[in-house]
Amino acid sequence: MRSVPSIPRKRDAAPADVASAGSGILAPTPRSEFMKGGRGITMTGWRPALRDTNDDVASAWEQAAARATDLVHNSGWISGMFDQAVANTVGTGLRLRCMPENELFGMDETSAQAWRKLVEQRFGLWAENAVECDIEGRRTFAAQQDAAFRSWLVTGEILSEIPWRRRFGSRYGTKVRLLPPSRLHNVTDPYRRIVSGVQMDADNFPIGYLAKRKDPLLGEYEVRVPARDAYGRPKVLHVFMGLPGQVRGITPLVPALKVAKQFDQLADATLMTSLIQNVFAAAITSDSPTDDIIQGLLSVQEQGKLAATGISPFEAWFEAQSGWYDGNSIDVGIGGRIAHMFPGQKMEFLSPEHPATAYKDFSLHLMRELARCLGLTYSSATGDHNGETYTGVRMSVNDIFPITLARRKFIVSPWCQPIYEAWLEEEIELGSIPFPGGLEAFLANRSAACRAVWQGAPKPQADDLKTAKAHETYRKMGVITDEAIANDLGLDIEDVYAQRAREKQLREVYGLPDEVERETAQAEREAAALAEDKEPPDGD
């Protein structure tokens, strides 16, 4: 008799990977994991090494910076995108806006407002004079911001010094020296706590930099530059963005270097294809001997020269072919020729096929990736606004502008702030700017006294009228202030109020009406009339 297998209970059931009775096949084991399909064709060969970020940057920095520099020199698209990124972030220069914590050093609001105005005015005098702010005497402070941000785009770093040197005819000794980041010696010495040319203490706080200098007699040699002076003031400014533990930056273009090169290759290949299409190839089908066919393609003059030399048409064709390969240039200066073919011969013209039929679509895809990598919209990077709408432009700007604000906050502002602090300390020490308690009180409250915001150009608007209507609506609702509106327009509210006060006095001198007051009074009258119309009539 055939035995009937018993059905096990759940508690007696075998594990899922145990073979079923008599089957010989293991049951699959249920599991949950990341990258579950990692054994496929796509993921098998993708096994990058997980290294320390400093090692990745150190091994790729020089080549990445060199390639980015080459693209800026030889690619109009990349150079234009860099210009647009600089214009969006720096523009004509970030403007100092003092915001000291005046209560910490005993200054009331009225005195603090006057002090802020004085500091901003005097800093503007220093920043707009290239001889005062640049140790080389070439760039104003705004131009230095431009050059510093370009250095970050190409190399991922801003490197500069704050030397003190007073020249004849110069009031200030505080200067700025911009340096190429390639001056940092990319060496690592764990015994001296040096990583990629940056020397750090036990807490990874930078205390010095290994720089490369050139001497006409000694050649290139290494020198250690302390990060700060004896009083703790920064001497070297090294600004970059990166992951935790990273001590050197790398160009933001590095993820798209391959894409930029692919775009150049695509453009070159498409151009070559277009040129080749202007050259035709022909095939002759005939039962006649080769000499007769070649002779039919020759002109009367060429046949006469051929008879004078005494060589066969095939030999002449072979020599012509050799000459062609010796100097294979396409000469479009020779006019057309009509060949008389013999009976039974047929000439067929062959045109090469165009391999890049989707050039425009693919090139647009590459351009969008490049623009996104550099923090730009496609339209601002390429200047192509075809098919855009107000809503689309507004959404694109809203998506990209936070990147611009982040770059101002985390790249340009950290570079500007120590320079401003060094200048302000010198001014207070000279007595040009008063401070409660003098220099000692300033040094004791340095962070509170030097607090500032570096303001740039406002967010681009697709329609200024709609933006103004939105500001007007929010202001009537009481959810926005005049200062917030001025910030959206890239203006300082104190400058606006001061200018309006001067203009009001000037109107009174010439007996002109105040347009703002007149429009405000008219709006109040209209609102009062509307309220009266809505009041219910009195009952009898």
**Pick from 15-24, 282-291, 354-363: least confident:** 15-24
pLDDT at 200: 94
Task: Indicate the pLDDT class of residue 540, thresholds 50, 70 and 90.
Answer: very low
**Pick from 140-144, 202-206, 336-340, 385-389: least confident:** 336-340
* 180 contacts 186 by C-beta, under 8 angstroms: no
pLDDT at 416: 96
Domain coverage including residue 180: 53-253+400-453
The highest-confidence range among 37-51, 144-158, 434-448, by mean pLDDT, is 144-158
Contacts of 116 by beta carbon, 8 Å cutoff, 6+ apart: 98, 99, 100
Mean pLDDT of 472-500: 84
Q: CB 93: neighbour CB atoms within 10 A?
A: 20
181 pLDDT more than 90: yes
Mean pLDDT of 322-335: 49
Give the pairing type, strands 281-285 and 346-350: antiparallel
Mean pLDDT of 299-322: 65
62 pLDDT more than 70: yes
Report the distance separating Cα 478 and Cα 1, nearest Å: 93
Task: Indicate the pLDDT class of residue 93, thresholds 50, 70 and 90.
Answer: very high
**Pick from 9-18, 225-234, 447-456: least confident:** 9-18
* Reported pTM: 0.75
Residue 491 tokens read as 């203006």
65 pLDDT more than 90: yes
For residue 142, being part of any structural domain is answered with: yes
* 356 contacts 262 by C-beta, under 8 angstroms: no
For residue 107, being part of any structural domain is answered with: yes
What single DSSP character describes residue 184? B
For residue 346, being part of any structural domain is answered with: no
For residue 466, being part of any structural domain is answered with: no
Residue with the bigger pLDDT between 44 and 237: it is 237
pLDDT at 2: 54
The highest-confidence range among 22-26, 88-92, 472-476, by mean pLDDT, is 88-92
Query: Each residue of 338-377: pLDDT tens digit?
Result: 555 555 556 666 565 655 557 777 888 888 889 899 998 8
Alpha helices (H) along 46-129: 53-74, 76-89, 109-127
Nearest residue to 150 (alpha-carbon basis) of 209, 95, 96, 90: 90
3-class DSSP assignment, residue 86: helix
For residue 234, being part of any structural domain is answered with: yes
For residue 83, being part of any structural domain is answered with: yes
Task: Indicate the pLDDT class of residue 3, thresholds 50, 70 and 90.
Answer: low
For residue 219, being part of any structural domain is answered with: yes
Tell me how many domains the chain contains: 1
The partner residues of 214 in beta bridges, in order of sequence, read 220
Report the distance separating Cα 540 and Cα 340, nearest Å: 115
149 pLDDT more than 60: yes
Task: Indicate the pLDDT class of residue 333, thresholds 50, 70 and 90.
Answer: very low
For residue 475, being part of any structural domain is answered with: no
For helices 53-74 and 257-276, what crossing angle results, to 10°? 30
Mean pLDDT of the chain: 81
pLDDT at 352: 58
**Pick from 118-127, 202-211, 487-496: least confident:** 487-496
